[in-house]
A and B are shown apart, each in its own frame.
Chain A
Amino acid sequence: MDIDDILREVDPTFDSIPVETRDLQALTRAWIAERSAPELLDWPADGLFERINDRIKKQIEKVEEMTGDMDPKTNFALIVIQTELERFKFLVRSYLRARVAKIDKHTLHYLSTADLRLRLSSTELAYATRHQALLHHHYLSSFLSSFPASLQNLNDTSGNISMIDTPDVDTAVFIRLLRDVVVRGKGTDVDGAAAGQHGDIFILRWSDAKGLVESGSAELV
Chain B
Amino acid sequence: MYGDLGNKLVQYAKRTQSLGFLPPYQTETVRGVTREVRDLDKDIAQRLEPFGGSFNPQADQATACTLLVNHLSIRRNKRCLLAYHKSRTDKLEELAWKGFDVVDLAGQQVASGNAGSNLGSADGGSSSLSPQEEDYIRQYSDLLAAYKGQWTDIDLTGSLEPPRDLFIDVRALKDAGEIQTEYGAITLTKNSQFYVRQGDVERLIAQGYLQKLG
Contact = CB atoms under 8 A, between A and B. Distances in A.
Answer yes or no: do A and B interact.
yes
A154 B86 CA distance: 12
B153 interface: yes
Among B143, B159, B166, the one with the most A-chain Cβ atoms within 10 Å of its Cβ is: B166
B91 to A, nearest CB: 13
Interface string B71-82: 010110010011
Contact of A86 (B38, B136, B198): B198
Contacts of B74: 148, 151
Interface residues of B, number: 43
Interface stretch (A90-98, A111-119, A175-183, A207-215): A90-98
Interface residues of A, number: 39
Interface stretch (B50-58, B104-112, B117-125, B127-135): B127-135
Given A53-B153, A67-B182, A138-B85, A93 B160 contact: yes
A138 B132 contact: yes
B93 A104 contact: yes
B192 interface: no
Contacts of B199: 86
Given A138-B135, A143-B30, A92 B151 contact: yes
A93 B154 contact: yes
B155 interface: yes
Nearest to A81: B166
Given A60-B153, A87-B163, A92-B154, A159 B75 contact: yes
Interface stretch (A8-16, A39-47, A128-136): A128-136
A85 to B, nearest CB: 9
A76 to B, nearest CB: 12
Contacts of A53: 151, 153
Interface of B: 30, 33-34, 37-38, 41, 72, 74-75, 78, 81-82, 85-86, 89, 93, 130, 132-133, 135-136, 139-140, 143, 146-147, 150-151, 153-156, 158-160, 162-163, 165-166, 182, 197-199
